[in-house]
């Protein structure tokens, strides 16, 4: 295997690592951590906002494939493999949260709107299902792809802006009044960081190899800021995940052969897992509420399962197993067309 192919393999494995962390992040709120608050906060610090890893990987792969970039072909591919599955997989959540019950955490005026306006806002923001904000946000990067290609080819000095942009994101945070736009601004520097890592592969790897103790220190301090709830801003998830993205990339480059094959299938279907794992989290939540309270889950928060390392591992493991087998079933049924329906 060539060195270049090895490099791609470890980025592929990183997708598997990232999606597992994302499932962890979305599992945490389903458990009651009142008996183990520090454990819950530590797991949350490690797992929450792991979508930062996905944006790093997306930026890396975008630059890596940029030599054969054609905007119309690029948009068509993204429409078929990202936007179309987003519409298909949104249908159940849209039905539940516009017809059957109300989604918690929405604007106070949201349910005063007509049903089609509700659907439109859900689709523009991705607020109808926890992970789906990713799609309207990454779609903004698709639209500015030609500008990013121009920058990479004609103005690579712009990559020096990554560090100050990371500082700005750390103080701005991810959430704001403009939904996907706020999130895209927040995630833009880590997307650029992925592009830079791809463009300057060997230089980037050498820098991480040299400075990994500093990166690990940044990640540890940031984790402490999250766990012990230091004042925000700064928002500690960005520096933590940005530093870890570099360390994980370097370590997977060195050691992906040790466990890469174990994560290969997870990495291959990672986008499908991203799309549908929240449905399985919700299904387990509905069954738990019915079992414990003999009532139907009404969309409001219930964290009745005690949170500890064992229940967290079991809950997350069940979600991953059910999601993987669900995807395998759809792929078996639809073949190659499955990517247009579930993103995998």
pTM of the predicted structure, to 2 decimals: 0.92
Q: Which residues contact 25 (CB under 8 A, 6 or more apart)?
A: 44, 47, 48, 49, 50
Considering its fold, how many domains does the chain have in total? 1
* 3-class state of residue 32 by DSSP: strand
Token look-up 């630059």 returns 63
pLDDT-derived band at 5 (thresholds 50, 70, 90) equals very low
Q: From CA 176, how far away is CA 44, in angstroms rounded? A: 21
Mean pLDDT across 210-216: 97
Q: Reply yes or no on whether the pLDDT at 221 is more than 90.
A: yes
- Identify the pLDDT of residue 130: 85
Q: From CA 311, how far away is CA 313, in angstroms rounded? A: 5
In terms of Cα–Cα distance, which of 157, 256, 254 is closest to 206?
A: 254
Q: From CA 248, how far away is CA 194, in angstroms rounded? A: 13
- Identify the pLDDT of residue 73: 95
H helix intervals, the chain: 3-27, 37-47, 51-64, 71-78, 84-95, 115-125, 134-143, 145-154, 162-172, 180-199, 201-227, 237-268, 270-293, 309-334, 339-342
Mean pLDDT of the chain: 90
Q: 121 or 260, which is more confident?
A: 121
Q: Reply yes or no on whether the pLDDT at 249 is more than 50.
A: yes
pLDDT-derived band at 224 (thresholds 50, 70, 90) equals very high
Domain housing 300: 3-342
Task: Give the rounded percent of residues in the chain with a pLDDT score beyond 70.
Answer: 93
* 3-class state of residue 169 by DSSP: helix
């Amino acid at each position: 295997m060539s060195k270049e192919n090895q490099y791609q393999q470890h980025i592929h494995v990183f997708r598997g690592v990232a999606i597992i962390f994302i499932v962890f992040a979305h599992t945490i709120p389903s458990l009651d951590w009142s008996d183990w608050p520090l454990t819950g906060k530590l797991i949350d610090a490690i797992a929450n906002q792991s979508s930062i890893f996905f944006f790093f990987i997306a930026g890396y792969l975008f630059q890596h494939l940029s030599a054969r970039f054609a905007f119309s072909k690029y948009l068509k591919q993204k429409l078929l493999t990202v936007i179309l599955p987003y519409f298909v997989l949104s249908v159940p959540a849209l039905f539940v949260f516009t017809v059957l019950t109300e989604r918690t955490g929405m604007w106070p005026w949201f349910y005063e709107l007509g049903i089609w306006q509700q659907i439109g806002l859900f689709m523009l923001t991705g607020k109808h299902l926890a992970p789906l904000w990713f799609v309207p946000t990454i779609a903004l990067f698709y639209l500015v792809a030609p500008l990013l290609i121009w920058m990479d080819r004609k103005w690579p000095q712009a990559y020096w802006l990554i560090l100050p942009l990371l500082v700005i994101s750390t103080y701005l945070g991810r959430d704001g009044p403009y939904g996907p736009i706020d999130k895209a601004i927040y995630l833009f520097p880590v997307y650029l960081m992925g592009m830079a890592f791809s463009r300057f592969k060997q230089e980037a790897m050498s820098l991480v190899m040299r400075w990994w103790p500093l990166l690990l220190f940044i990640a540890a301090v940031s984790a402490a800021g999250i766990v012990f709830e230091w004042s925000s801003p700064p928002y500690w998830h960005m520096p933590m995940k940005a530093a870890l993205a570099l360390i994980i990339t370097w370590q997977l480059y060195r050691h992906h052969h040790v466990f890469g094959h174990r994560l290969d299938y997870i990495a291959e279907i990672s986008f499908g897992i991203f799309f549908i794992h929240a449905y399985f989290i919700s299904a387990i939540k509905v069954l738990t509420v019915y079992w414990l309270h003999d009532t139907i889950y009404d969309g409001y928060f219930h964290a009745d399962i005690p949170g500890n390392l064992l229940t967290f591992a079991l809950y997350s493991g069940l979600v991953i197993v059910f999601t993987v087998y669900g995807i395998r079933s759809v792929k078996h049924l639809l073949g190659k067309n499955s990517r247009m329906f579930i993103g995998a």
